[in-house]
Structure 1
Amino acid sequence: MSTPITHGPPHDGVAHQGRHGPLQVGESVLLIDHKSRRYLQTLTPHQEFHSHAGPLEHDRLIGAEPGSTHRTTKGLTFTVFRPTLSDLVFKMPRGAQVIYPKDLGPILMLADIAPGVDVLESGVGSGALSAAMLRAGANVTGYELRDDFARRAQLNVARSVGPEAAARYTVQLRDVYEGIDLPAGGGFDRVVLDLPEPWQVVPHLRGALRPGGIVLAYTPSIMQASQFREALGEAGLVMAETLEVLHRTWKVDGAAVRPDHRMVAHTAFLTHARMPSTAERTLPPPATEALDKSAG
């Protein structure tokens, strides 16, 4: 088994992404122009945002209210907001392919990610899924093979959800195919996988995933999903289901109402299942009278 190297929360001076009150130095903000184009900026004193519309000083945005409108030197306007997690996911630096918001929401529901839940995630990629689960209140342990991905995920998470959530996040450099180390509590409540061969993890789930726990795999290919389902069945996991999520927006302009010509269709299949209890259970024999009525 590979020797784990743990990355704790990064300390890069990134400010907590506030949720209320005026915009602060170090916050990420979203600038939106009159054509709904979006630009992500980190507020820094004495710096400017430059675009086709002319410069806009960060100092004018620091201390402003979210939703306020500001003019550039050319007289064009930008509206400033705090970005949503979805905005940050689309704009975050990445090495690996990011899991997009249309799948992040369903993953949180299917895996039942909630406050206090202990999650093993492998691999962490750019940290988009990690950030979503941390924001939902989970404690996340990540397994990642590449050091550059692990460091980028830690930084993206800190910028997306702030230091309190980042304190519940660790990333270990290790191969989940070789095994799973149990946390202090004796097991994980959830195992979430974004790997080429998630079926290789299934033999390690017994003992690592608590009874009643949920495993979920994100797989681009249906053949990956099929092989994962086969491994789940052989290992005795139950309630397995595979689905995909399609995202189609609509044009709504007065009387012109129709689906948009483009949509975000297939990205990946989501397969989830539950771990049954390993405890021996002795059921009382059925009553003879009940059997007779059933036979009749």
Structure 2
Amino acid sequence: MPKGYLIYNSVESKILVSDINKIDSLTTHKGKIVLDNDLKNISYGKKITTTKGKFYYVLKPAYKDIISKINRTTNTINSKDIAHILVNTSINKGSKVLEIGLGSGAFSLFLSHFINKPILSLDVSFKNIKNALNNIKKYGDINCVLALLIKDEQKKVPIKYKEYFDCIIIDLPEPYIYLELILNVLKSGGDLVFVVPNIEQVKESRNIFSKYGFVYFRTYEIIERQWLIRDVGSRPYEKYLNHSLFLTFAKKVDNS
């Protein structure tokens, strides 16, 4: 389960805390919450009171709460897109997953709660890796992710071709630059997922991968709109997730 505490009053007034034992107080526009020794040992579901007499509840955070608050050094895949990956692949608790493009660690953080094996994540930026591992340590289990640095512009990857993965997820504008690696380490019947920002990149990538034994292509754009429910005047919530990226799924087959 994700680590942390969601201190909740309303959709507009909530605070995500990774470790309630490391802070003495929280300041909100509804008053200050003083975290004495009794509150620091409080369990989920309990009610706490601010200095202005307003109530907050201590909740177990949802994955979406965490993903929206992690520290970002690059564009981060949204929770709406991450969830779609699980239902469009064959990933299960025994799957072996390779991620190319660790980014801020959002996907690895989420997926690590659903599979038993460590996720192997690659990135060309040491800064990204350091930040992502800090995010994962803060809200999850650092032992569930093995992050490796791709050291140079030649895209030399520090894994052996005898490794076989059930799923490869690539969050890069040109996923086909790792075509040779993918062909060598993705199992026959395995899932390929690539995440790109525009439709022309989708078309080019699909055309290339289709020539090398990939079938069952599906491309999605996920749009999510939350509603604000009131007694009078219910309406869509002002902040909603429109286009962020395109997700494409495919299966590798053996054409030999």
Tell me, yes or no, whether TM beats 0.5: yes
Secondary structure in 1 aligned to 2:120?
A: strand
Distance change in 2, residues 1:221/1:17 (3 Å): closer
TM-score with structure 2 setting the length: 0.88
**Shift, 1:57, TM fit:** 1.9
Residue of structure 1 in register with 2:155 after alignment: 178
Residues 1-296 of structure 1: pairs in structure 2 closer than 5 A: 28-34=4-10, 36-41=12-17, 42-44=19-21, 47-59=24-36, 60-137=38-115, 138-162=117-141, 166-174=142-150, 178-180=155-157, 182=159, 186-254=163-231, 259-260=236-237, 263-277=240-254, 280=256
Change (3 A) 1:207 1:48: same
The amino acid across from 2:138 in the alignment is R
* 1:4-53 per-position Cα deviation (integer Å, ceiling 9, x unaligned): xxxxxxxxxxxx956xxxxxxxxx21112256411112312661112233
Distance 2:127 2:84 in 1: 28
Unaligned segments of structure 1, at least 5 residues: 1-15, 19-27, 281-296
Please tell me the residue identity of whatever aligns with 2:188.
Answer: P
CA distance in 1, matches of 2:23, 2:224: 40
> What is the alpha-carbon root mean square deviation over aligned residues?
2.5
Q: Which amino acid letter does the alignment assign opposite residue 70 of structure 2?
A: M
Does the CA contact (< 8 Å) of 1:146 and 1:173 recur in 2?
yes
Contact 2:148/2:158, CA 8 A, preserved across alignment: no
CA deviation map 1:230-280 (0-9, x unaligned): 1111212111111111112234334755555664221111111111125x5
Structure 1 residues 254-263 or 87-96, which shifts more?
Answer: 254-263
Q: Aligned pair in 2 of structure 1 residues 108, 177: CA closer, same or farther (>3 Å)? A: farther
5+ long unaligned stretches in structure 2:
none
Which structure is larger by alpha-carbon Rg, 1 or 2?
1
Alpha-carbon spacing, 1:252–1:229, altered in 2? closer, same or farther (3 Å) = same
Over 3 Å counting, the alpha-carbon distance change for 1:201 and 1:64 in structure 2 is: same
Q: State the number of aligned residues.
A: 252
Greater displacement, 211-220 / 232-241: 232-241
State the identity as a percent.
25
Indicate conservation of the 8 Å contact 2:173/2:195, yes or no.
no
Alpha-carbon distance in structure 2 between the residues aligned to 1:111 and 1:180: 24
